[in-house]
Chains A and B, each alone.
Chain A
């Protein structure tokens, strides 16, 4: 269905990049469609930032191609720069300048876009307009960094871990701002190692591990395809060593069971059948239950089921 297929505004094929001691990206293909927010997920060191910086024209790939907004870095760099909004991981803007001075500077580089005051309003920093950057909180600095990315009225926005290190409230505030930008129909490529962030903001996500893509799809599809809908976790306390895990796998509606440090996690399709059966089985094994919880499966669970590791294991 070539006609109805959405157009790719970013197409990455066969991307490879090695540094002296590590291969950061091992042959990656990506397609980001017009108007979507595409998430690149993975633990630290998965190769997300390298991938993004190659797409941003800041790093030269060893091999592979990047086509962005129908253009290429080696021939159209000047034009591309005008049309991209870029927020890098942990850039420290000059602390001696005020919010307004910083945005006025960044605005001067672009041919078009909101003026400095409008950009400040976009990220709700009006009250901090004349504050020095050094006096801003972490969340305010990230909002300023976002404003610096928006000040050229970009068609394509790169956000590299925009909420890393922020408190929950500041994260939610930034998410709202990103959603506003999304609603104006522009395309975003977002990297994150927060699965909840990807679930909330992204239409599609690619999960990366060790320089490769290991899964691709919408958050819902990924959850549906790789694990059951529900997760049940319980702790057997001191008796966990005598627990018969194999017996648990036999329970109807249970897809997978993982036991780790005395906590047992089960992927479950039919919660209403599995939980009573689990309780009965534990009673039969004479194992007292010290904790029991259930939640709907998340991308984090997808990552665990794909790699056997948690995202923030390190």
Chain B
């Protein structure tokens, strides 16, 4: 048949095929995979918001809400000019003189923390809500002013030294916590979503139908993660240092090691969570279930020490706790890598465990 005679012989062996020309750096599959991965992240505005803008907004908002203010002036009221005069000597009290009805009203609606009224026999009666810290403070300040106006002399002289050093404020506590939370979020979301999405779109299957070395695919995620990490960490720390003067007392190298290790560990967790899931919904459920307990327990916003002693060993074993503890120790106490060994150990254990398990479970389709 004519259809068979005209056909050129194409069943050539590998050796007969044109030898591959040497590839330039940018033509290397690992470089291409990394570039593509990086571009995909940059072109995802939502992802950029959560990675870069969100931690800054959160730090800014909380930093302002919990900023260390000079002790607040408390509003109180009284009904007689004599009492008002005595109370006004206390600088931390703002005293209003009101008629009885208006004073009642102000106390009931919380406009004032305390109402001082004269009692029988030159006594003074303080009316306040003792469950409100402001009320209790106002009680002490008001009573001290009244007693001193009446001639009381303190038997012991006292004076104050004020502590408002960078490093011991709430914002100093918060920034390393946010940094750790960000490392976790961007690595787990970044790994989990994109892998599951690529599986759902059968892109993973398409990729393994090419000669792409499979390990390059995973490696490209790690490399692009590291590129993003530099920007992520830089922005949060830079913001903290610039706006709130949050210190970094440890060496930057140790800090970089902790960030890198933390990010790799969370990437491995993300990979594990994404190893089988076929839908975004399934993956996102898994990721939330894993991250939520750590957001709460690992001391992002408040010290993990507040949880009962029995659960402390479990909390300490969480990767986010280890990451945040290490970041805080480095930034606030200047701890070096040797001092951070326990946290580094915890992170490394999670990294190896999750990565090995993820490779075992991973499905390309």
Contacts and interface: CB of A to CB of B under 8 A. Distances in A.
B211 A91 contact: no
Interface stretch (A109-117, A246-254, A294-302): A109-117
B28 A108 contact: yes
Contact of B201 (A5, A83, A91, A101): A91
B10 A186 contact: yes
A36 interface: yes
Interface stretch (A74-82, A165-173, A193-201, A270-278): A74-82
A94 B3 contact: no
Contacts of A181: none
Prevailing SS type, chain B contact patch: loop
B24 to A, nearest CB: 10
Given A58-B205, A97-B36, A106 B210 contact: yes
Interface in A267-305: none
A28 interface: no
A69 B12 CA distance: 8
A146 to B, nearest CB: 13
Interface stretch (B14-22, B89-97, B146-154, B277-285): B14-22
A88 interface: yes
A36 B201 CA distance: 31
Contacts of B205: 58, 88, 91
Given A34-B9, A36-B3, A187-B10, A109 B20 contact: no
Interface in A150-181: 152, 155
Chain B's interface size range is 35 or more
A111 B14 CA distance: 11
A88 B44 contact: no
Nearest to B3: A203
A186 to B, nearest CB: 6
Contacts of B14: 79, 82
Contacts of B11: 7, 9, 34, 69-70, 155
Interface string B6-46: 01111110100110110100011101110110011001100
A121 B59 CA distance: 51
A109 B201 contact: no
Contact of A108 (B9, B12, B27, B43): B27
Given A91-B201, A105-B32, A58 B7 contact: no
B203 A109 contact: no
A265 interface: no
A33 interface: yes
Given A9-B11, A96-B40, A187-B10, A88 B209 contact: yes
Nearest to A36: B3
B252 interface: no
Nearest to A185: B8
A109 B36 contact: no
Contacts of A33: 4
A261 interface: no
B211 A78 contact: yes
A128 to B, nearest CB: 17
A103 B305 CA distance: 53
Contact of B211 (A92, A109, A148): A109
B208 interface: yes
A165 B23 CA distance: 38
B108 interface: no
A88 B10 CA distance: 23
Contact of B10 (A82, A90, A155): A155
B290 interface: no
Interface in A3-22: 4-7, 9
A58 B363 CA distance: 12
Contacts of A245: none
Nearest to A7: B11
A203 B14 CA distance: 27
Contact of B202 (A9, A35, A57, A90): A90
Nearest to B20: A111
A102 B62 CA distance: 42
B212 interface: yes
A110 B44 contact: no
B206 interface: yes
Given A4-B4, A70-B11, A96 B44 contact: yes
Nearest to A9: B11
Of A7, A91, A112, A203, most buried by chain B (CB within 10 Å of CB) is A91
Contacts of A105: 32-33, 36
Contact of A34 (B10, B17, B209): B10
Of A36, A57, A81, A109, most buried by chain B (CB within 10 Å of CB) is A109
Interface string B191-214: 000000010011101101111100
Given A35-B10, A104-B32, A58 B211 contact: no
Nearest to B194: A94
23 contacts: A9-B10, A34-B7, A34-B11, A35-B10, A36-B7, A81-B210, A84-B209, A88-B209, A91-B203, A91-B205, A91-B206, A93-B206, A96-B39, A97-B36, A97-B39, A101-B36, A108-B27, A108-B28, A108-B33, A110-B211, A111-B211, A185-B7, A185-B8
Given A92-B202, A108-B29, 4 more contacts: A58-B205, A81-B211, A92-B203, A185-B10
